[in-house]
Amino acid sequence: MNYSAYKNVNLLGGLLREKQELNRKITIHAVWKQFENTGRIGAFSCDWEEGMEQKPHIFWDSDVAKWMEGASYILAKTRDKELEAKIESLIDKFETNQQPDGYFNIYYTVCEPGMRFTKRENHELYCAGHFIEAAVAYYEATGKDRFLKLVMRYADLIDQTFHIKNSAAFTTPGHEEIELALIRLYQATNEPRYLALSKFFIEQRGANEKDGHCPSSQDFPIRSQRTATGHSVRCLYLYTAVSALAKELGDSELARRCQDIFFDIYSHKLYITGGVGSTNLYEGFTRKFDLPNRGAYAETCAAISLAYFCRNLLDLEKKSVYADILERTLFNGILSGLSIDGKAFFYENPLEINVKTNNRLIDAAGTERHAATQRKEVFDCSCCPPNINRFIEEYESFLYDREGESVYVHILAESTFDDGTAHVETHTNYPLDGKAKIVYRGAEFLCVRVPDWCSNFTASSPYTMENGYARFHHPGTVLLEFHMDPVLVEANLNVQNNIGRAALMFGPLVYCAESVDNGENLHALYVNQNLNAKVTFDPFFGANVIETDGFRKLQNSTALYRPYSENFFEKTRIKFIPYFGFANRGESDMLVYFKVKEIN
Amino acid sequence: MNYSAYKNVNLLGGLLREKQELNRKITIHAVWKQFENTGRIGAFSCDWEEGMEQKPHIFWDSDVAKWMEGASYILAKTRDKELEAKIESLIDKFETNQQPDGYFNIYYTVCEPGMRFTKRENHELYCAGHFIEAAVAYYEATGKDRFLKLVMRYADLIDQTFHIKNSAAFTTPGHEEIELALIRLYQATNEPRYLALSKFFIEQRGANEKDGHCPSSQDFPIRSQRTATGHSVRCLYLYTAVSALAKELGDSELARRCQDIFFDIYSHKLYITGGVGSTNLYEGFTRKFDLPNRGAYAETCAAISLAYFCRNLLDLEKKSVYADILERTLFNGILSGLSIDGKAFFYENPLEINVKTNNRLIDAAGTERHAATQRKEVFDCSCCPPNINRFIEEYESFLYDREGESVYVHILAESTFDDGTAHVETHTNYPLDGKAKIVYRGAEFLCVRVPDWCSNFTASSPYTMENGYARFHHPGTVLLEFHMDPVLVEANLNVQNNIGRAALMFGPLVYCAESVDNGENLHALYVNQNLNAKVTFDPFFGANVIETDGFRKLQNSTALYRPYSENFFEKTRIKFIPYFGFANRGESDMLVYFKVKEIN
């Protein structure tokens, strides 16, 4: 994370700020409680023995580390003794149970002692990476360096084992993460060995016989990669690291590889919600334009890692496309991972729920896999909930950027930016509407992104367009309006399942409709192309809901087959809610893409 | 099978007759060859030993028995010394290897000796049933009773073991079939024990603790069953038997249960092609209106068993609906199981093939199940090919019926019917067109089914309508026309995946379009509601192909998402082929249900 950008920002109001308050009041505590109940917190005592319940799992360390990171971001903004005490108690146990040579991994300490660094797929370095991120965050939030020093000892051991001696059973991690964590550790400590170790992991990938090939990882030499493949989270954590490394090294070839990967996703593999990963089978990317709605995997963590990747791409070059996708996933495919009450989560974020289809089998002989229709408080593999904890507290890091004499506004929010020289105040209800008043001083230029969804933009001052940003040349007050109307958006025709269908968007928000509002059989509803939309703020969602004109296809026969009846429709209104708010009012069908009826 | 109806019919020309010629020239020999190659024929020597290749499988007996039955039907119509010699050689081995007490099952003789009648799910009685059907067919075709007597000894053993002594480890077969075979054996021999044994198996089903519950079978007491559940073939073989038993016993309650099952299928669970079984998971029925296109299982054997069930329902009551569904599956979902060249088969008959979706995974880490896109010459589980062999040779049995002073014409074909008193000659090109000239004498009434697809029927003589049949009262010549135009047919709106889409039909034939004729991305094609159809006979398919007006949705952008463009279409023609002929010209996308564009 670009911590300097983060600490200069004060998020003061609006939807994003409300989600942070929810996180601080509810979600961070809800996740802690589930982690206590499931044994993840207790596991830090490292006293599990064969035969006991709650056997530590290989990725539990990372779940708790992400929670620590998220809690640290809260501490960076607010004094919270309870959270700090919880983190300190975990650090105590980390210190107590860290091995003399610096090693720390609960699973390999109590479940498979003596087997450290032997199984590439066992998330060991992934867990280490998350501890590193947590320690850096805690250090930057509090100034306390105990945890940082503990993880540095561990990082030093990893450096010795993997980089210097090459003595582990594998060379690069099966699940990427530590690569980006080491760069953050380097940025926090200025110790070049950590940058070198990250570079080593990145460049050894796919170049090393010892690793074999794990088909769900990006096991190809990094400089030969052009397309997003394999496990989405692994791919995007890797490229988050590669883009940071490209920036640190000024390596334009690596930067180009990152851009290739991004544009492959952007052009072929991205859900309209900003979700990625079209199959549950390896939680990963599939072929171009393969974007099933009901079968979407679109893991919350994958969307979060896409946002991190976009943040680093913006660090490489200020082009609005990266912020467009960041915004798309931030307001849709990530936010949908959290329930409105802040206590429950989606691991997968499908674009359609069809309860009947999920229950199509009437017989115990067969089972089918369907995405969950209701959020859960904890998962066996509970990576997403603490990832939401930390991501929500990083909102500040996505809003602004400073580069030379320009301050960039990537995403509008009621907020301030102040880096000591430049000062920016943004007043806006975004994303409820597209109006903003921005006051800036101390920097020559203010560059405000004109979002991809906006076709009509007005400003009170003259500006020039540059890479998708409106660049203002005179400090002072700028009144902006990104005119926001409900619009129907269609996918490329190569996304065959969506041909003839469209999704409703309003500004950056994707909308969906649920049977709880619209009755059974959402597939029989057609959106009227002439929307005649009514936009209303709904406090339950903290966002606008939209009603449009539509049609319901009718039938006057119970026959299974009959001559096609051309035009047997009744007029109706369709109620849409923000996609991020689906599945919060009991089990319900949900649909994003609706058939469109052209007006005769 | 109603053998008397069968032997009175002479099928003389047209599509069905051509398929019989293909079967006799090609298919019956192709299946034999594959069965030789895979060891199924050799297995009859019963000399397999552990360590040898081609270990007999539990259902191999039934594969070969069905072939024997099919070959016997050919012998009933044509002298064919080669086929007869093959059957005789199998009977020789059956006789040699039949155990002293009458038992015959290759698998339990050579693979698991001593384990007979211990495993309900192991298809043992299913194999026995197919041998019984084969023996009855061979006896009725040739008058030779050697095989019949051998299987009677086996049937007697089964009667002793299951019915009299109840000494087997289970009471009713896991895979139904023997129930219907025993009724045929009873009809051929007049031995009431066989009818009683069939009744025993039917009535013990779901009533017996010893059987436990196999969730893929209809393990509920027969008189309490109202819906079609579980494994489609098992369900329909069972109800084929139940309907025959209801007729034999005059049991109106059993008859009503059969009608309940039929109408549950007819109203909720039937593909437009006459296929049944919406899931591969237990090869079975699912919930009402669950009829996925690409995921259709629609096993060829399930469609065949539905045709048998319909034939028996017609035996119970002469209502055209049974013949409608019989015809639907005969011309579509069954015929699609056989390639145009007569050598290859589909086990599953989906309503959509999308090659790209089948290959959506780019990574070896995951696998998905998709129906085959090309027919195969043999399957590991090769039940369907010999079922096609025998079904095609039974066409005669579906065409006519005699009841009292009425001769019924269920399905039009160039053919004669003569039962000694009544004589009917039908001259027609059906299903190429809907015209027929029927001459009848020797019966008071001629009842010709008015098909469900026909909304415009004309006849040269006066008639009365009765249960869907046009009843003519005066022997002589009747000229009929069932006016046949290409029509679009839609499914009930509860079939959510087909809302707004329609299938093209012409008479009883369902049509589909393939990318090999229409280019990539069939989902971008819309049928013009004003079809402007051109119907042309195509000798490759032996049936009509149809061109209609249509539209292709276009895009002028490569963007993954963009504002919905209402009306960006080009006019095109769409070429449709009979559904039964899909996948005969290389790997190709295929679609039955097309979006319809209403004319503005």
Q: Express each pLDDT in A510-565 by its tens digit.
A: 999 999 999 999 999 999 999 999 999 999 999 999 999 999 999 989 999 999 98
DSSP alpha helices (H): ranges in B10-123? 15-22, 28-37, 60-77, 81-97, 106-110
Of A282, A368, A559, nearest to B492 by CB-CB distance is A559
Q: Kindly report the backbone phi and psi dihedral angles of residue A195, in degrees, each rounded to the nearest multiple of 5, phi listed first.
A: -65, -40
Residues of chain A in contact with residue B565, where contact means CB-CB under 8 angstroms, are 490
Of B272, B529, B598, nearest to A561 by CB-CB distance is B272
- 10 Å CB burial of residue B50 (0-12, 13-18, 19+) is exposed
Rama region for A369: left / alpha / beta (φ>0; ψ in -120 to 50; rest): beta
Flag whether residue A497 sits within 8 Å of chain B, measured between CB atoms.
Answer: yes
**Is residue B12 within 8 Å of B322, Cβ to Cβ?**
no
State pLDDT tens for residues A368-404.
888 999 999 988 888 999 999 999 999 999 999 999 9
Residue to mutate among B360, B511, B556, with most A CBs inside 10 A, is B360
State pLDDT tens for residues B301-331.
999 999 999 999 999 999 999 999 999 999 9
**Is residue B279 within 8 Å of B269, Cβ to Cβ?**
no
Residue to mutate among A561, A562, A591, with most B CBs inside 10 A, is A561
**Is residue A582 within 8 Å of A514, Cβ to Cβ?**
yes
Q: Match 């051929």 to its residue by tokens.
A: B188
Q: Match 């990832």 to its residue by tokens.
A: A387
Flag whether residue A526 sits within 8 Å of chain B, measured between CB atoms.
Answer: yes
Q: Which amino acid is at A18?
A: E
Q: How far apart are CA A239 and CA A183, in angstroms?
A: 12
Flag whether residue A570 sits within 8 Å of chain B, measured between CB atoms.
Answer: no
Residues of chain B in contact with residue A492, where contact means CB-CB under 8 angstroms, are 555, 557-562
Flag whether residue B163 sits within 8 Å of chain A, measured between CB atoms.
Answer: no
Could you tell me the CA-to-CA distances from B289 to A115, A320, B258, B497 in Å, in that order? 53, 46, 20, 10
What pLDDT score does B158 carry? 98
Flag whether residue A209 sits within 8 Å of chain B, measured between CB atoms.
Answer: no
Q: Identify the CA nearest to A323 among candidates A476, A179, A447, A463.
A: A447
Of B278, B500, B563, nearest to A488 by CB-CB distance is B563
> In what helix (H) or strand (E) does residue B273 lie, and over which residues does it extend?
none
- 10 Å CB burial of residue B567 (0-12, 13-18, 19+) is exposed
Q: How far apart are CA B145 and CA B532, in angstroms?
A: 58
What pLDDT score does B218 carry? 77
Q: Extract the residue ranges of chain B whose pLDDT is less than 70.
A: 1-5, 215, 363-366, 566, 600
**Is residue A477 within 8 Å of A455, Cβ to Cβ?**
no
The verdict on whether omega for the bond into residue A292 sits within 30 degrees of 0, i.e. cis, is no
CA distance A352 to chain B (A): 12
**Is residue B467 within 8 Å of B320, Cβ to Cβ?**
yes
* pLDDT band at residue A218 using 50, 70 and 90 as cut-offs: confident
DSSP state, residue B27: I
Q: How far apart are CA A202 and CA A176, in angstroms?
A: 9
- What SS3 class is residue A527? strand
What pLDDT score does A7 carry? 87
Residues of chain B in contact with residue A595, where contact means CB-CB under 8 angstroms, are 499-500
Chain A residue at shortest CA distance from B367: A281
Q: Kindly report the backbone phi and psi dihedral angles of residue B484, in degrees, each rounded to the nearest multiple of 5, phi listed first.
A: -115, 115
Q: Where in chain B is the domain with CATH 2.60.420?
A: 401-482
**Which residues is A543 bridged to in the sheet?**
A538
CATH class of the domain defined by B401-482: mainly beta
Chain A residue at shortest CA distance from B598: A566
Flag whether residue A361 sits within 8 Å of chain B, measured between CB atoms.
Answer: yes
CA distance B345 to chain A (A): 25
Chain B residue at shortest CA distance from A286: B361
Q: Where in chain A is the domain with CATH 2.60.420?
A: 404-482
What pLDDT score does B5 carry? 60
The verdict on whether omega for the bond into residue B431 sits within 30 degrees of 0, i.e. cis, is yes
In angstroms and rounded to an integer, the radius of gyration of the C-alpha atoms of chain A is 24
What pLDDT score does A600 carry? 54
Q: What is the CATH number of domain A404-482?
A: 2.60.420
CB contact (8 A) between residue A489 and residue B366: no
Contacts of B463 (CB under 8 A, 6+ apart): B470, B471, B472, B473
Flag whether residue B278 sits within 8 Å of chain A, measured between CB atoms.
Answer: yes
* pLDDT band at residue A208 using 50, 70 and 90 as cut-offs: confident
> In what helix (H) or strand (E) does residue A96 lie, and over which residues does it extend?
helix A81-97
Q: Which of A304-308, A442-446, B212-216 has the lowest mean pLDDT?
A: B212-216
Chains A–B, number of C-beta pairs less than 8 Å apart: 204
CB contact (8 A) between residue A356 and residue B287: yes
- What SS3 class is residue A569? strand
Arithmetic mean of pLDDT over chain A: 95
Flag whether residue B429 sits within 8 Å of chain A, measured between CB atoms.
Answer: no
Q: Identify the CA nearest to B163 among candidates B138, B198, B210, B131.
A: B198
Percent over 90 (pLDDT), chain A: 90
What pLDDT score does B212 carry? 80
pLDDT above 70 (res A163): yes
Contacts of A386 (CB under 8 A, 6+ apart): A31, A35, A63, A64, A66, A67, A69, A70
Flag whether residue B270 sits within 8 Å of chain A, measured between CB atoms.
Answer: yes
CB contact (8 A) between residue A529 and residue B496: no
State pLDDT tens for residues A399-426.
999 999 999 999 999 999 999 999 999 9
**Which tokens in the block code for residue B85?**
């010699």
Beta pairing, strands A406-409 & A445-449: parallel
What pLDDT score does B378 carry? 86
Q: How far apart are CA B505 and CA B512, in angstroms?
A: 9
Beta pairing, strands B593-597 & B525-528: parallel
